[in-house]
């Protein structure tokens, strides 16, 4: 699917935002009702990791392709039983690479495995990120060029790409989103959880909306109509839910947009 087609399906809708330890094929299928897109992972790619599981897959290309294929096919089968094979939500995976090679191999594995839209995790942390330049530390000045380099690799790999960041890492995302847009990145996802518990940082979202025409996904404390509307009202194109989907499998059908 090209990005025009994907964005038409996502515009004004809700999606399941990735949760490491939760978002495998079974969980995504169980939360798909009312979702425009489900996000698997994070899939963290770390060469030296010995113990492998759904969230720490082997980064070797064939093994990674096989692993993603198995996840996506299981999901497609489960969700086609629920909604029919023409109504399967868009498949995204939140991928946390640790090297240039991981970025290249995971992009290729993701496409071969039949994923629809790759999300680069420039949002989380696994320890050692500041020195390594991974996760949310990709946004700090020491590692910004690496973020742009990885974005370029992903765009050149051919599949649509989302870059995901979160508030609180840098004060202003204007420069980053401008550069990412120029590189040809298709979409930007911002977690707008504010400093205070339950508070959405709407100013941050608004400032990103003003800075870029990229398709904009936002997540952060969405649990009902009001909290979803507030993100759409300041410019989100598509709104994600994570925490509220943990306890309520039907949350996406309860929000009427």
Ligand X SMILES: Cc1cc2nc3c(=O)[nH]c(=O)nc-3n(C[C@H](O)[C@H](O)[C@H](O)COP(=O)(O)O)c2cc1C
* Contact yes or no for 249/221 (Cβ under 8 A): no
Q: Min. distance of Cβ 219 from ligand X in angstroms? A: 4
Of 91 and 242, nearer to ligand X (C-beta) is 242
Token pair in block for residue 244: 């509220």
Of 41 and 59, nearer to ligand X (C-beta) is 41
Element spanning 40, H or E: strand 37-44
Rounded Cα distance, 189 and 119, in Å: 9
Rounded Cα distance, 220 and 216, in Å: 13
Q: Min. distance of Cβ 88 from ligand X in angstroms? A: 21
Residue 218 vs residues 102, 128, 233, 234: alpha-carbon distances, Å: 26, 27, 11, 10
- Token match 């840098």: residue? 170
Rounded Cα distance, 125 and 122, in Å: 9
Verify cis geometry, omega within 30 degrees of 0, for the bond prior to 42: yes
Of 41 and 159, nearer to ligand X (C-beta) is 41
Q: Min. distance of Cβ 121 from ligand X in angstroms? A: 5
Q: Min. distance of Cβ 145 from ligand X in angstroms? A: 22
Of 80 and 227, nearer to ligand X (C-beta) is 227
Of 62 and 203, nearer to ligand X (C-beta) is 203
Q: Min. distance of Cβ 193 from ligand X in angstroms? A: 5
Q: Min. distance of Cβ 244 from ligand X in angstroms? A: 6
Q: Min. distance of Cβ 125 from ligand X in angstroms? A: 10
Of 200 and 207, nearer to ligand X (C-beta) is 200
Of 80 and 248, nearer to ligand X (C-beta) is 248
For ligand X, the binding residues (CB under 6 A) are 17-20, 41-42, 94, 121, 123-124, 164, 191, 193, 219-222, 241-244
């Amino acid at each position: 699917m090209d990005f025009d087609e994907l964005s038409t399906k996502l515009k004004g809708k809700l999606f399941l935002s990735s949760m490491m330890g939760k978002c495998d094929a079974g969980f995504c299928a169980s939360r798909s009702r009312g979702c425009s897109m489900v996000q698997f992972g994070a899939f963290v790619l770390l060469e030296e990791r010995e113990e492998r599981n759904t969230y720490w897959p082997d980064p070797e290309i064939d093994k990674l392709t096989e692993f993603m294929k198995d996840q996506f096919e299981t999901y497609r089968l489960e969700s086609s039983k629920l909604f029919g094979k023409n109504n399967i939500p868009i498949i995204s995976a939140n991928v946390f690479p640790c090297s240039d090679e991981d970025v290249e191999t995971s992009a290729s594995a993701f496409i071969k495995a039949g994923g629809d839209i790759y999300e680069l995790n420039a949002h989380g942390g696994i320890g050692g990120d500041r020195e390594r330049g991974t996760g949310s530390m990709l946004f700090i000045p020491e590692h910004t060029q690496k973020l742009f380099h990885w974005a370029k690799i992903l765009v050149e790999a051919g599949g649509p790409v989302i870059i995901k960041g979160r508030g609180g890492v840098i004060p202003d995302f204007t420069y980053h989103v401008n550069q990412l847009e120029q590189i040809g990145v298709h979409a930007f996802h911002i977690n707008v959880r504010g400093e205070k518990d339950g508070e959405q940082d709407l100013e941050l979202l608004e400032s990103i909306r003003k800075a870029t025409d990229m398709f904009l996904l936002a997540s952060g404390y969405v649990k009902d109509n009001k909290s979803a509307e507030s993100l759409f009202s300041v410019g989100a194109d598509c709104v994600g839910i994570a925490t509220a989907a943990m306890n309520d499998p039907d949350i996406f059908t309860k929000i009427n947009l």
